[in-house]
Amino acid sequence: MYRLVIVDDEYYTLEGMKRILDWDKYNISIVGTATDGISGLDVIRSKGADIVIVDIRMQEMDGLEMISILRKEQFKGKIIILSGYQSFEYAKSAIDFKVDKYLTKPVNPAEFEESIIKIIRELQEENGDIAEGLPDNFRRILEEIDRHYTENIQLTKLAEQFYCSSAYLSRMFKKYVGMNYVDYITKKRIEKAKEMLKRQDMSIDEIMIAVGWQDPKHFRAMFKKQEGISPSEFRRRNQKL
């Protein structure tokens, strides 16, 4: 089970987060809750956490300060921020602290569920257990994509190759991956681009072509949409000496 910790000083928000999803359905267990950043750190350190949901504005220690400490302690889990404020500065800080999702209150249940599905997918990829629970035919489709995602693979052609309909394939992506086909391909390309950007042996345009894009403007737009920063800024922050 994935371990979840919820940190929020508003009673009704805290109780609402407990009930917003059928957590067991997603193989998630709420291992602890807290009402401020200080006690939140204690719970996370003692119980461990794969996912943390935290409010920004709290007494004693706010959410951003708590996240900053967690990142300094090399916490690798996923973090979702809840905020009653649509603030550029808060959003910028969230990007700096590598927060996985920034949601404003009141939380939209559908958007929240979509965020959790995406986070689970990422955890599965990182832990190497994405294949668990997948139908054999869909597993083979994902393996085929892994081999050819830098190419121009159309969903219709992929469906024909595996003798299924495009509609069926679209449903499988939404159900098991938590995103549509185009977003899945985009994510894989950008993850590969991030690996390559950490090195200095290729230019950004060469990396763009290597991962399957031809249009520099589109590549940079998609990269910034997913990562919150440009490819050049990502390279600057992640240079390997």
Q: What is the pLDDT of residue 6?
A: 96
pTM over the 0.75 mark: no
- Phi, psi (degrees; rounded to nearest 5) at 161: -60, -35
Identity of residue 19: R
Structure tokens at 235: 């390279």
CA pair distance 233, 104, nearest whole angstrom: 27
Average pLDDT of span 228-232: 91
pLDDT band per the 50, 70, 90 thresholds, residue 241: very low
pLDDT band per the 50, 70, 90 thresholds, residue 190: very high
Asked if the domains at 2-127 and 183-237 fall in one CATH topology, the answer is no
Identify the CA nearest to 57 among candidates 30, 85, 79: 85
**CATH code for residues 2-127:** 3.40.50.2300
Q: What is the pLDDT of residue 126?
A: 76
Domain ranges of the chain: 2-127, 136-178, 183-237
CA pair distance 5, 58, nearest whole angstrom: 16
Q: For strand 2-7 and strand 51-55, is the pairing parallel, antiparallel, or unpaired?
A: parallel
* Contact assessment for residue 2 and residue 28, using Cβ atoms and an 8 Å cutoff: yes
Share of the chain above pLDDT 90, in %: 37
CA pair distance 75, 193, nearest whole angstrom: 24
Alpha helix segments (H runs only) across the chain: 11-19, 37-47, 63-72, 88-96, 109-127, 136-148, 155-161, 166-172, 181-197, 204-210, 216-227, 231-237
CA pair distance 62, 136, nearest whole angstrom: 45
**Is residue 89 over pLDDT 60?**
yes
Average pLDDT of span 68-93: 80
What CATH class has 183-237? mainly alpha
Identify the residue whose tokens are 């490819």.
231
**Is residue 61 over pLDDT 90?**
no
From 69-73, 75-79, 117-121, the region with the lowest mean pLDDT: 117-121
Average pLDDT of span 26-44: 92
Share of the chain above pLDDT 70, in %: 91
Identify the CA nearest to 51 among candidates 119, 129, 107, 98: 119
Average pLDDT of span 38-62: 91
What confidence tens digit (pLDDT) does each residue in 113-158 have? 989 988 887 887 776 655 557 677 788 888 899 889 999 889 998 8
Q: What is the pLDDT of residue 199?
A: 82
